[in-house]
A and B are shown apart, each in its own frame.
Chain A
Amino acid sequence: MKNEKFLKEVTVAITEIASGNLSARLSITNTEGERDGIAAGINMLFEELEAMTKLQNAKTKALMNIMEDMEETKKILEESEEKYSALVESSGDGIIVIQEGELKFVNDATEHILGYKKHELIGKDFLDFIAPEYQGMVMKNYMDRIEGKEVPATYELELSHKNSGIMPIEITSALIEYEGEPASLVFIRDITERKKMESQMRTLSTQKNAILSSIPDIIMEVDENKIYTWSNDVGMEFFGDDVIGKEASYYFFGEQDTYDRIEPIIQGDENVMYIESWQLRRDGEPRLLAWWCKVVKDGNGVVTGIISTARDITEQKEAEKELKKSAEFTKTVIDNIPDQLIILDVNDLSIVGANQIFLDDYEMNINEVMGKHCYKLTHNLDSPCHEPNDTCPIHEMMKTGKPHTKEHVHFLNDGNEMIVEVSVSPIRNEDGEIIQAIHLMKDITERKKAEKELKDNENRLHTILENLQAGVVIIDVEDREIIEVNNMAANMMGATKYEIIGNRCNRFMCPAEDDMCPILDLEHRIDNSERVLLTKDGHEIPILKTVMPIVINGRDCLIESFVDISQQKHTEKILKEEKSELAQKNEDLELSLHNMLVNIEKRHESSPNDLAQEALPDEEGVVFLFPLDNERNAFEYLKRKAEQNIPVLGISRSPPARFQKKLGKDIDVVWLTSNHEPDMVCVAPTDVARLSMVITEFFKRAPEGVILLDGSEYIISHVGFPRYLNLVQFLNDKVSMLNGSMAVILDLETLDAKEARQVERECVPGYVSGG
C-alpha cells in the first residue's frame, strides 16, 4: 500500500516535471526509510534537471541575443560598407588597392587624378604609372613594408597623367587584407596646386627675404624670454652673426629700463611701443637705436614673443642736439637783436614767432602774441595796412619777392607812438614759395627826432648865418670856388650872393695869386688874423679872419668867418698914441719910487737895530692887527720905530701930508688913491698887485723895516674881502721870513664874524711895548 502511494507520488512528480514544472519534489518523511532515500535521490535529480534546464534556457536566450546582435552588426556593417564605399568613391583623394603590383581597386577620384578610366587601370602594373626616377624608391618602400621595416607612410613622387604628362603626387600607403590576401591600400593626392602654392610661397619667401634685406632697418624677433630668435641681414650685420640665441640684454649698453618698458607688451599689449635704447654694435661701439616693438601671439592669443624694428639714430640724435643748439642759438640771436622782430604767416599776416624785445615792448608773453594779426597789434587796425596811411611792406614784398623796407608809425600798448623802420624779408619753403616773412622793426623815433632837430638846426643856423654880424664864406677846396656866402659877407663885398657864388676865392677873399693861397698852398694858419677882403669894385677892407677846414656833404671845404675891423684899426691908432703917453708917466712913477726907496735905505743904514729889538723883543716877523679904536697905538708904534731909526713906510688912504701930520713925523707914505699925482707914490686901491710889489720892494731893501697899512676898508670896498684877505696872507708870509713887521689898522665892525676871524687868524693883536 505504501509502495503504491509512493509510486503514485513519484508518477505525479515526474508528470509535473514533464509538463514543465521543474520545481516539483517528492516528500521525505524521515531519513530512515528506503523510499525516503529514493525520494531524496529523485528530488536531487529533479534539482539537477531544473538547474540544467534553467542553464539551457539561459544559454538559449544568450544565443538568441547573440544572434540578434549579429543581425544588428550585420546591418551596421552593411550600412558602414555603404558609407565606406560612398566615402571611398566621394573622396577627393584617389584610393587604390594594389596586390602583387597590380591595381585591384581604384576609386572615381583616381580616374580624375590620373585621367584614366577605371578599366584602363584595373589589372595594370602600378609601376607603369610611376615616373621612372621614382620607381626604385616605391619598390624599396613596398618591400621594406612587407618585411615589416619602418617605412614613411607618406611621401611624394610623380605619376604619369594620361593627358598632361608627369604630375606631382603625395601617396600614403598601408598594408591591408584584400579579398583574403595581403595588399597595399594607397591614397593618392594630387599636390599640383600645393606644389604651385609652395612654389609661390617660396617665391613669396624669396620676395619677403629680398624685401627684408632691402629694408635698411634692423628687424629682430625675441621670444617671450627675450631671447633673439630671428634677425634680418641688417640685424645680423649690426649685432653679429651669432645674435640668434642670445638674450636682448646681452647687447645693452649702460643701465636702462628697457625690460620694464616692454613688460606691457610681454603681458599682451598690442600697441606698438617706441623705445630708444643704447646697444652695443658688433664692433663694440655703443649706438643709440630707436625701436618699434609689437607683440607676437599664436593662434590662441598666447604671447610668443616680440618683433621689433630698429634704426640707428645716433647721428640723428647728435644732429637733433646740434639743431636744438642751433635753434637755441638762433633764438638767442633773435632775442638779442636790439630791434623788435616777429615772424609772420604771409597768408593772413598772423604772428607765428616774436623776439623778446617785441614781447617786452608790447608787454605781452609769446602765447598772447601767437596768432594775432600784426596790423591789430602794431596799428590797432582790423585789416592790413593800406593807403593813404602806412602801406603794408609784406604786400610789396609779395609783389617783388624781395626784401622791402618801409617807415611805419606803430602804437604800443601804452598808447605811445613809435616810428619804426620796418624791414621784411621772405622765408620760402622747399618749392621756393614764400610762406613766412621776417618782420624787423627798428625803432627810429629818436633818429627821426634827431633828423627833425637837425633840419631845425639847419634852418636856425641858416637864419643865424644870414643874420650874423660877421661875414661867412664857404669855399670848395678842390676847385677853390665860393659855394656859400651869407648876407653880411655879401654886403661887405658889395655884391649879391648870385654875383659872388661860383667865383674863385681870390676874387673876393684875398688878393693872392692863383696857386699862392696862403692856406691851401702856403699852409698858413689863419686864426683871428688880420687880412683884407676885396670888394666887388676892388677896394680892400681890413678884416679879422678865421679859416677852418670843414667837410660838407663829403667835400673838403674851408669856412672863412671875418669881421670888418676898419673902425677897430682907427681906434687902435688912437690908443697907440695914448699908450705912448702912459708909458712916459709910468717911467716917471718908477723913478719916484726908486728915489723913495733909496732914501729909506739910507736911513736904515744910519740907525742901530738893537733898539728895535729891545723895544719889541717878540714883534718880529708878524702882522699886528690894530682895531680902529686902537688906531692911535698903531701910529704910536710906527712913530717909535721911526724914532729908533728903523726904516718905516706908511700906506694910507689919507694923502701923505695928512698921514705925516697925524704921525708927527715926516716918513715915506704910499697913497692909496686912483689919482696920479706927480712926485707922489700913488697906488690904485684895485691894483693889489702893485701894492704887493711896493711892499716886497720895501722889505727887500729893509728886511727889519716896519709898514703901517691904514686904509684896509678902502681896499676891501674895491676888491672885496677875499682879495684883501689874500693880501694880508701875503703880508704875513712875507714878514714871517724877515725881521720886519707890519701893522694893519682894520675896523672889524665892517666885517662879519667869519671874515673877522679869518683876518685875526693871520695876525697878532696889536700893542705898543712899554706904551
Chain B
Amino acid sequence: MMEESIIELPKVIMKRDGLGIIHFNYRKDVEIELEDAIMELSAAEKLGRGKRCLVLIDLTDVKKVSKEARDLYSGEEGNGVIKRGAFCVVSPVGRMIGNFFMGINKPMMPVKLFDTRGKAISWLREFV
C-alpha cells in the first residue's frame, strides 16, 4: 500500500518531503478554527507515519488562528504529533500570530519563527 505524502484539506495542503518534514501550505487568507486544527493534526499524524514529525508551517497567507486552535497546537494534542515546529512568518499578520503563539500560548514542543522557508527547513533538517 502506498504511503501518502500529501493531504489536501479545505484550508491547507499538507505535504511530506523527502526528509520527512511536513509542510503546511495554507490557502490564501484562511482563518484557522478549532475544527481545522483538529483535521490538520490528524493529517500530520498520518503523514508522520507513526512518528512525531517535524513541521514547517507557513503562516504567510493565514489571517487568523483562533485561541482554541492555538491552545490545541500548543497543548498535549499538538505535542503528541509534532516533534518540532518551524513557523515561516513573512507577513505582518503571520508574524503577529507566530509571536503570540510562542509568547502567550507557550507550546510544549520546540518552536521557532523564521522569515524564510529556507531557514526554517535548514533548522528542521538539523533534527531529521
Give A residues with C-beta under 8 Å from B. Answer: 28, 30-34, 36-41, 43-44, 47-48, 51
13 A/B residue pairs, CB under 8 Å, sorted by A = A28-B64, A31-B61, A31-B93, A32-B91, A32-B93, A36-B63, A37-B92, A38-B96, A41-B96, A41-B100, A44-B104, A48-B104, A51-B67
- CA of A33 to CA of B29, assembled, Å: 13
Given contacts A44-B67, A44-B100, 12 further A-B contacts (CB under 8 A): A28-B93, A30-B93, A31-B29, A36-B92, A37-B92, A37-B93, A39-B93, A41-B96, A43-B64, A44-B104, A47-B67, A51-B67
Residues of B within 8 A of A37 (CB): 91-93, 95-96
> Which A residues are CB-close (under 8 A) to B91?
31-32, 37
B97 within 8 A of A: yes
Residues of B92-116 whose CB lies within 8 A of A: 92-97, 99-100, 104
Q: Are A32 and B66 within 8 A (Cβ)?
A: no
Q: Does B62 contact A (CB under 8 A)?
A: yes
Whether B67 lies near A31 (C-beta < 8 A) is no
Minimum CB distance partner of B31 in chain A: A28
DSSP class of B's interface residues: helix, strand, loop or mixed?
Answer: helix
B107 to chain A minimum Cβ distance, whole angstroms, is 15
- Report Cα–Cα, A38/B95, bound state, in Å: 10
Given A31-B63, A32-B91, A47-B67, do A40 and B29 touch, yes or no (CB 8 Å)? Answer: no
A54 to chain B, nearest CB (A): 11
> Inside 8 A of B29's CB, which chain A residues have their CB?
30-31
Contact check, A40 vs B66: say whether CB atoms are below 8 A apart.
no
Report the separation of the CA atoms of residues A663 and B67 in the bound assembly, to the nearest whole angstrom. Answer: 206
Contact with A along B61-86 (1 / 0, CB 8 A): 11110110000000000000000000
Q: Nearest Cβ in chain A — how far from B46, in angstroms?
A: 28
CA distance A40 to B60 in the complex (A): 13
Least CB distance from B15 to A in Å reads 21
Q: Which B residues, 27 to 71, have Cβ-Cβ distances below 8 Å to chain A?
A: 29, 60-64, 66-67
User: For this complex, into which size category does the number of interface residues on chain B fall?
Assistant: 10 to 19
A30–B63 CA distance with the chains assembled, in angstroms: 7
**CB closest chain-A residue, reference B101:** A44
Name B's A-contacting residues (CB within 8 A). 29, 60-64, 66-67, 91-97, 99-100, 104
Q: Which residues of A contact B64 (CB under 8 A)?
A: 28, 40, 43
Chain A contacts of B62 at CB under 8 A? Answer: 31
The minimal Cβ–Cβ distance linking B31 to chain A, given in whole angstroms, is: 9
Residues of B with C-beta under 8 A to A40: 63-64, 92-93, 96-97
Q: In the complex, are the beta carbons of A36 and B93 less than 8 A apart?
A: yes
Which chain A residues border B99 with CB–CB below 8 Å? 41
Q: Give the chain A neighbours of B97 by CB distance below 8 A.
A: 40, 44
Please tell me if the beta carbons of B92 and A31 are within 8 angstroms of each other in the complex: yes
Nearest-neighbour CB distance to chain A for B40, whole angstroms, equals: 18
A31 touches B60 (CB 8 A): yes
Question: Is there an interface contact between B66 and A47, defined as CB atoms closer than 8 Å?
Answer: yes
Q: Min CB distance, A600 to chain B, in Å?
A: 184
A47 partner residues in chain B, CB cutoff 8 A: 66-67
> How many angstroms from the CA of A248 to the CA of B96 in the assembled complex?
98
B112 to chain A, nearest CB (A): 19
Cα distance A51–B66 when bound, in Å? 11
Chain A CB within 10 Å, residue with most, of B61, B62, B92, B99: B92
Across the interface, which residues of B come within 8 angstroms of A31, CB to CB? Answer: 29, 60-63, 91-94
A44–B65 CA distance with the chains assembled, in angstroms = 9
Give complex CA distance A439, B100 in Å: 138
Cα–Cα distance between A44 and B61 once the two chains are bound (Å): 17
Please give the distance in Å from A457's CB to the nearest CB on chain B: 152
A33/B67 in contact, CB under 8 A: no
Give the residues in chain B near A51, CB-CB below 8 Å. Answer: 67
Residue on B nearest A43 in the bound complex, by CB? B64
Q: How near does chain B come to A706, taking the closest CB pair, in angstroms?
A: 177
Residues of B within 8 A of A38 (CB): 92, 96
The answer for the CA separation of A48 and B61 in the assembled complex, in Å, is: 22
Give the top 7 A-B pairs by smallest Cβ distance, nearest first: A37-B92, A31-B91, A31-B93, A41-B96, A47-B67, A40-B93, A37-B96
Distance (whole angstroms) from the CB of A47 to the closest CB of chain B: 4
Contact (Cβ within 8 A) A48 B95:
no
A27 to chain B, nearest CB (A): 10
- Name the distance in Å between A55's Cβ and chain B's nearest Cβ: 11
Q: How far is the CA of A36 from the CA of B96 in the complex (A)?
A: 9
Distance in Å: Cβ of B104 to nearest Cβ of chain A? 6
Closest-by-CB residue of A relative to B63 is A28
Q: Which residue of chain B has the shortest Cβ distance to A25 in the bound complex?
A: B64
List of A residues within 8 angstroms of B60 by Cβ = 31
Min CB–CB distance B75 → chain A (angstroms): 14
Distance in angstroms between the alpha carbons of A40 and B93 in the assembled complex: 6
Give A28 to B92 CA distance when docked, in angstroms.
11
- CB nearest neighbor in B for A39: B93
Docked CA distance A768–B67 (Å): 197
Min CB gap A220→B, angstroms: 76
Give every chain B residue within 8 A of A34 (Cβ-Cβ).
Answer: 92
Inter-chain CA distance A37–B97, complex, in Å, is 8
Q: How far is the CB of B65 from chain A (nearest CB, A)?
A: 8
* Residues of chain B within 8 A of A39, CB atoms compared: 93
Q: For the complex formed, measure the closest distance between the CB of B72 and the CB atoms of chain A, giving whole angstroms.
A: 14
Bound-complex Cα distance A719 to B62 (A)? 192
* A32-B104 Cα distance, complex, nearest whole Å: 22
Q: Chain A residue with minimal CB distance to B66?
A: A47
